[in-house]
């Protein structure tokens, strides 16, 4: 018993394996950007090289205070606009020249009609002193050479968003992250949420009881005699 041509075509088209036959293609709907809120300024602002002090006040000097770069960032570790940005993977310092590098790179590559970028860090504020070339030891603390911004691991450096997808801006953010003086990576809101869930899952499903935290808390092998106070606090996770 033979079927007519119309019924055969209907059966072929209705099968999920042959959705692209006879020129029929099913493309996904374009994403909607109704939830995107643009800030007042769409471009990165120019950061000051030297902080402004009240008139008559001598610029104060400061110690190194490496604790400003050690440990995890507990506050500014998420994206405010829930889109894309650059996250620091380790501690470090940013000079004014790094701010300008990021600002110029984003300004050249960003589409101002449908994108925006904001800073998530402060302008350089911590003074770094330096002795003159060829001077002898002693003589007090040197003069202020430049200012820096200390960064902790997990800190969001800047955010980039708007009516765009992560595929469009991933290469731009990755190239900028590779030029920073510490380890950093381009991230999206979905990536950050996935990383948190994966870390919690790995900690929950770990079957090895001899973790670094267990070894340090129980002083296995007398390790507390040569570990630093930061290792006793963060269990060798952060430098």
**Model confidence pLDDT, tens digit, residues 167-191:** 999 999 999 999 999 999 999 999 9
- pLDDT at residue 141 in the model: 93
- The per-residue pLDDT for range 36-74, each reduced to its tens digit, is 999 999 999 999 999 999 999 999 999 999 999 999 999
Among the listed ranges 11-15, 44-48, 64-68, 224-228, which one has the minimum average pLDDT value? 11-15
144: its two tokens: 């202020």
Residue 139 has pLDDT above 80, yes or no: yes
Check pLDDT > 60 for residue 17. no
- How far apart are alpha carbons 150 and 66 in whole angstroms? 9
- Least confident interval from 10-14, 105-109, 218-222: 10-14
Q: Is the pLDDT reported for residue 1 higher than 70?
A: no
Strand bridging mode 156-162 / 92-94? unpaired
pLDDT single digits (tens) 161-171: 999 999 999 99
pLDDT of 16 higher than 70? no
Residues near 9 by beta carbon (within 8 Å), at least 6 away in sequence = 22
What mean pLDDT is predicted for residues 118-143? Answer: 94
Give the least confident one: 8-12, 70-74, 101-105, 231-235: 8-12
Tokens of 183: 């380890």
Residue % of the chain over a pLDDT of 70: 91
Instruction: Give the pLDDT of residue 6.
Output: 65
The confidence score (pLDDT) of residue 70 equals: 94
End-to-end Cα, the chain, rounded Å: 78
Strands (E) located in the chain: 84-88, 92-94, 115-119, 126-130, 143-151, 156-162, 184-188
Write down the pLDDT at residue 28.
85
How many CB atoms within 10 Å of residue 54? 5
CB 86 within 8 A of CB 157: yes
What is the overall mean pLDDT for the chain? 91
Dist. CA 98–CA 150, nearest whole Å: 12
Residues of the chain within CATH 3.90.1170.10 domain(s) are 37-205
pLDDT at 34: 87
User: Can you give the pTM of this predicted structure?
Assistant: 0.86
- Residues of the chain with pLDDT > 90: what percent? 80
Domain 37-205, second-level architecture: Alpha-Beta Complex (3.90)
Per-residue model confidence (pLDDT) at position 90: 96
């Amino acid at each position: 018993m033979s079927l007519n041509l119309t019924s055969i075509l209907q059966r072929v088209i209705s099968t999920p394996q042959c959705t692209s036959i006879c020129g029929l293609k099913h493309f996904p709907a374009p994403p909607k950007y109704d939830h995107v809120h643009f800030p007042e300024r769409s471009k990165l602002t120019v950061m000051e090289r030297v902080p402004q002090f009240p008139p008559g006040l001598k610029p104060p000097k400061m110690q190194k205070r490496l604790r400003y770069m050690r440990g995890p960032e507990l506050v500014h570790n998420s994206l405010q606009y829930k889109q894309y940005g650059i996250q620091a993977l380790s501690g470090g310092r940013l000079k004014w020249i790094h701010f300008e590098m990021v600002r110029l790179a984003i300004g050249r590559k960003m589409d101002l009609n449908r994108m925006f970028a904001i800073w998530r860090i402060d302008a350089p504020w911590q003074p770094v002193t330096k002795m003159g070339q060829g001077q002898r030891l002693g003589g007090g603390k040197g003069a202020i050479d430049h200012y820096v911004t200390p960064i902790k691991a997990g800190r969001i450096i800047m955010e980039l968003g708007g009516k765009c997808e992560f595929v469009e801006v991933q290469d731009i953010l990755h190239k900028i992250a590779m030029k920073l003086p510490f380890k950093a990576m381009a991230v999206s809101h979905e990536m950050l949420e996935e990383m948190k869930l994966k870390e919690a899952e790995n900690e929950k499903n770990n079957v090895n009881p001899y973790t670094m935290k267990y070894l340090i808390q129980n002083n296995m092998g007398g390790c507390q005699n040569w570990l630093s106070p930061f290792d006793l606090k963060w269990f060798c996770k952060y430098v």
